[in-house]
Amino acid sequence: MTHGLRKLERHFKDGRLDRRGGIAQLWKRKALGWADDSGGLAHLTAREQTLLWHTAAVSLLIDSLLNWAFLQPSLLDHNSELLNPLRKSLIAYLNAERRGLESLGLKPERPDATMTLQDYIRSKGSSGNATPGSAGASQGDGEG
């Protein structure tokens, strides 16, 4: 595994990847997909394009490493520690990918889960429950 990963890593670093092969096509699809998320390659500076291609290469290294890991009989070695390629490489690659995507401004969209007080009151009112301040809510509060 590590030999294959090192070979792939060398091809990316040296720019010797045959652009017609399957890995090159995956690399291109991944990079162009991320570019589309930013409005297309035309909207990226040369620096951003370089970062985009490097981040896509790191992402492919992660995919390759994970594919290898899940083919292993166990993710732990004979000392009950995480397999060496995972322990030494995976976290570094994941962090590099995250930093690259953040530098490009490609953060995952997160739904706004914050409910305003007005939304909460509306949701309770529409479900037939008493809303704060209604007659049912003030009865039995111990005063009076």
Q: Give CA separation, 24 vs 51, 60, 76, 133, in Å.
A: 17, 10, 31, 64
The tokens for 47 are 């620096």
Q: Which two tokens stand for residue 113?
A: 């889960």
Eight-class DSSP state of 133:
T
How far apart (Å, rounded) are the C-alpha atoms in residues 71 and 86?
A: 13
| Domain boundaries, given as residue ranges, for the chain | 2-103
Per-residue pLDDT of 18-37, as tens digits, reads: 666 777 788 888 888 888 88
More confident residue, 10 or 22: 22
Q: What is the per-residue pLDDT across 76-130, written as a single tens digit (0 to 9) for each?
A: 888 888 888 888 888 889 999 999 988 888 765 555 667 777 877 888 876 555 5
Q: Give the Cα separation of 90 and 88 in Å (integer).
A: 6
